């Protein structure tokens, strides 16, 4: 193909679509670069889903103005997780000055990369080097250092090469990456944007993915040896129009097998075997409203859960929010698991957005929930540190007053909600709910998905990890032992109440062991166990 000297609107649109394709192809690789060896590394998924939103906006875009508007709006509304928010800022900064042009030339691209870098840094309160920020900045600086009047292809080649070199240096800049033996996932993901632009301009192929530490079950599936080795079964009822179902089925077809989608007239019963829990649920969110979500580890419970699917009745879900009263301040919370949803709504939450570990909702989904609340002011509880930056974008997009209380877990949200007053102002609620967060200490337990060096210690695949707000607290041979070690860190002389949310993968005998340990080791504490139903993390713990 001939080398382009400038990018037309169609060329820019194609480059963004190829960036989306590249992120999808590299999604597992980027996810596996997670610093902590936990099963919810989702940088690749968040970046890919952010670009899916951009791609949807691009469907009808033809002129340069339309393409740039689609990129800006799609990335803003579809941003998921911290990596998705920063990616959206990079894209918006890049195209900000392209709208009035007939074509994008080398000098325009140079300016665009500088805007992209500045926008990314401005989006982060405390920028950290050795991340995606460093990679986009060094690409911009490399282009600015070119002498003379470089061509478009020369400009892109320098930017791409500099970005790849920056990625390789990230472990030298960030100790967490060095200890984990990985490069920055977001930085590596953004190199694919430059690779996509370079492919459109010169025909230079986007690099093929190099799957890092692929789980055995995924490897077997890719090799076609055992398609039943996909580990998780995801099931839910889906409220969606019939027109959305072909794209929904295509999305599921890309991430799993044993797919059953039955129903009609707006209500569907959906079942899939997959290793991408987040993708399976996100596809439903994109199509409509999934509910009665149930996620099961097939290795332990496949026979029982397949019987559940065969016997399940497809029942219409009542609109549980239809009769809610108008209040002064409403609350939107993020969570997954039927038990967690019940707990949140029992404490006054008007809208629960499906999401959490491994499945970060988009800006648009949180905005939709905010707009559905019967109040002029809304507080958002993200319940995951990766969702906080997404939630903070909603206030500028909604006509309502939106405040975000930066909860990192559901137990934190439960503590804050005890102080929630629907008839008080948003300012008064913010003050009292923030105070409540200062009185709770939280942690969670999950299983390591790979070997790693974390916080100076060694973690082996299969170890149970006790995680506090700042990282790994302890490792153990069982989930129950991990909870016991976590409690040693969380409980102090002033503690009064322990709340344990039990996940869908938790074993009954281990839950009983935890109960007995608390009664023996901390007889002065009041203990509450709740069925949370959350996946991947069998125990979430809060101590007040």
- Strand locations in 23-140 (E): none
347-352 average pLDDT score: 91
DSSP letter string, 224-236: TS-GGG--EEEEE
Q: How far is CA 134 from CA 20, 206, 277, in A?
A: 22, 21, 30
**Termini Cα distance of the chain:** 65
Between CA 194 and CA 186 the distance in angstroms is: 13
Q: What is the pLDDT of residue 35?
A: 63
Q: How confident is the model at residue 36 (pLDDT cuts 50, 70, 90)?
A: low
Residue 484 confidence (pLDDT) above 80: yes
Between CA 324 and CA 519 the distance in angstroms is: 39
Q: What is the pLDDT of residue 357?
A: 67
Lowest mean pLDDT segment, chosen from 108-112, 190-194, 285-289: 285-289
Both structure tokens of 464: 């149970």
Nearest to 15 by CA among 117, 114, 104, 77: 104
311-339 average pLDDT score: 67
Q: What is the pLDDT of residue 257?
A: 67
Q: How confident is the model at residue 1 (pLDDT cuts 50, 70, 90)?
A: low
251-279 average pLDDT score: 74
Helices (H), 312-399: 338-346, 363-372, 388-391
415-423 average pLDDT score: 93
**CB contact set of 167 (below 8 Å; sequence gap of 6+):** 135, 183, 184, 187, 188, 191
Residue 265 confidence (pLDDT) above 80: no
Angle at 342 between CA 341 and CA 348, to 5 degrees: 95
Residue 530 confidence (pLDDT) above 80: yes
Between CA 538 and CA 483 the distance in angstroms is: 10
Residue 461 confidence (pLDDT) above 90: no
3-state secondary structure of 113: helix
165-186 average pLDDT score: 88
Both structure tokens of 14: 């194609």
Between CA 277 and CA 284 the distance in angstroms is: 11
Q: How far is CA 172 from CA 16, 31, 32, 36, 66, in A?
A: 30, 20, 19, 17, 41
Q: What is the pLDDT of residue 471?
A: 81
Question: Which domains does the chain show, CATH number per domain?
Answer: 9-202 (1.25.40.340), 216-311 (3.30.70.1150), 329-437 (3.40.50.510), 441-543 (3.30.1180)
Element (H, E) at 526: strand 526-531
Q: What is the pLDDT of residue 27?
A: 86
Q: What is the pLDDT of residue 264?
A: 66
Q: Under the phi-then-psi rule, with left for phi > 0, alpha for psi from -120 to 50, and beta for the rest, what region is 265?
A: left
**pLDDT per residue as tens digits for the range 64-80:** 999 999 999 998 888 88
Q: How confident is the model at residue 458 (pLDDT cuts 50, 70, 90)?
A: confident
| Burial (0-12, 13-18, 19+ Cβ within 10 Å), 27 | buried
Residue 103 confidence (pLDDT) above 90: yes
Q: How confident is the model at residue 400 (pLDDT cuts 50, 70, 90)?
A: very high
Between CA 197 and CA 105 the distance in angstroms is: 12
**pLDDT per residue as tens digits for the range 275-320:** 788 888 888 998 898 887 877 665 544 343 333 333 333 333 334 4
Q: How confident is the model at residue 474 (pLDDT cuts 50, 70, 90)?
A: confident
Average pLDDT, the chain: 84
**CB contact set of 63 (below 8 Å; sequence gap of 6+):** 9
Q: What is the pLDDT of residue 297?
A: 62
Element (H, E) at 175: helix 175-180
**pLDDT per residue as tens digits for the range 352-399:** 988 776 678 888 889 999 999 999 999 999 998 889 999 999 999 999
Residue 247 confidence (pLDDT) above 70: yes
**Beta partners for 474?**
466
Say which residue the tokens 């200490």 belong to. Answer: 441
Q: How confident is the model at residue 137 (pLDDT cuts 50, 70, 90)?
A: very high
Nearest to 201 by CA among 55, 9, 2, 22: 2
Residue 204 confidence (pLDDT) above 50: yes
- On whether the CB atoms of residues 297 and 232 are closer than 8 A, the answer is yes
Say which residue the tokens 């193909």 belong to. Answer: 1
């Amino acid at each position: 193909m001939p080398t382009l000297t400038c990018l037309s609107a169609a060329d820019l649109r194609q480059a963004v679509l190829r960036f989306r394709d590249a992120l999808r192809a590299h999604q597992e690789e980027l996810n596996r670069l997670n610093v902590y060896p936990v099963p919810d590394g989702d940088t690749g998924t968040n970046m890919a889903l952010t670009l899916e939103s951009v791609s949807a906006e691009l469907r009808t875009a033809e002129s340069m103005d339309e393409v740039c508007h689609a990129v800006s709006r799609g990335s803003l509304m579809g941003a998921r997780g911290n990596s998705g928010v920063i990616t959206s800022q990079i894209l918006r900064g890049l195209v900000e000055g392209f709208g009035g042009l007939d074509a994008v030339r080398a000098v325009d691209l140079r300016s665009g990369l500088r805007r992209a870098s500045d926008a990314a840094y401005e989006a982060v309160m405390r920028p950290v080097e050795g991340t995606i920020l460093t990679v986009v900045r060094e690409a911009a600086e490399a282009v600015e250092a070119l002498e003379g009047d470089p061509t478009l292809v020369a400009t892109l080649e320098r930017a791409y090469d500099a970005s790849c070199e920056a990625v390789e240096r990230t472990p030298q800049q960030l100790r967490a990456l060095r200890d984990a033996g990985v490069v920055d996932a977001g930085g590596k993901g953004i190199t694919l944007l430059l690779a996509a632009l370079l492919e459109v301009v010169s025909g230079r192929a986007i690099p093929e993915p190099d799957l890092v530490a692929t789980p055995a079950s995924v490897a077997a599936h890719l090799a076609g040896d055992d398609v039943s080795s996909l580990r998780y079964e995801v099931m839910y009822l889906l409220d969606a129009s019939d027109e959305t179902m072909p794209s929904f089925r295509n999305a599921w077809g890309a991430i799993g097998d044993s797919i059953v989608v039955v129903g009609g007239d707006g209500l569907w019963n959906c079942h899939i075997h997959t290793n991408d829990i987040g993708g399976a649920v996100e596809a439903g969110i994109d199509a409509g409203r999934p509910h009665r979500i149930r996620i099961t580890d097939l290795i332990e419970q496949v026979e029982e859960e397949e019987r559940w699917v065969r016997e399940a009745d497809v029942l219409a879900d009542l609109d549980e929010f239809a009769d809610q009263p108008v209040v002064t301040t409403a609350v939107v919370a993020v969570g997954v698991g039927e038990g967690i949803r019940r707990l949140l709504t029992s404490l006054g939450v008007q809208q629960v957005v499906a999401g959490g570990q491994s499945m970060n909702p988009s800006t648009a989904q949180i905005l939709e929930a905010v707009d559905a609340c019967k109040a002029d002011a809304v507080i958002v509880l993200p319940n995951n540190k990766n969702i906080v930056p997404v939630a903070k974008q909603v206030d500028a997009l909604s006509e309502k007053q939106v405040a975000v209380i930066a909860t990192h877990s559901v137990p934190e949200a439960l503590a804050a909600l005890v102080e929630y007053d629907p008839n008080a102002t948003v300012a008064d609620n913010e003050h009292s709910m923030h105070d409540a967060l200062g009185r709770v200490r939280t942690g969670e337990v999950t299983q390591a998905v790979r070997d790693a060096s974390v916080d100076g210690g060694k973690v082996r695949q299969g170890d149970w990890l006790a995680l506090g707000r700042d990282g790994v607290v302890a490792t153990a041979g069982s989930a129950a032992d991990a909870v016991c070690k976590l409690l040693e860190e969380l409980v102090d002389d002033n503690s009064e109440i322990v709340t344990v949310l039990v996940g869908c993968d938790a074993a009954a005998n281990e839950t009983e062991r935890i109960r007995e340990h608390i009664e023996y080791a901390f007889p002065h504490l009041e203990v509450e166990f709740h069925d949370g139903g959350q996946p991947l993390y069998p125990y979430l713990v809060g101590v007040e």
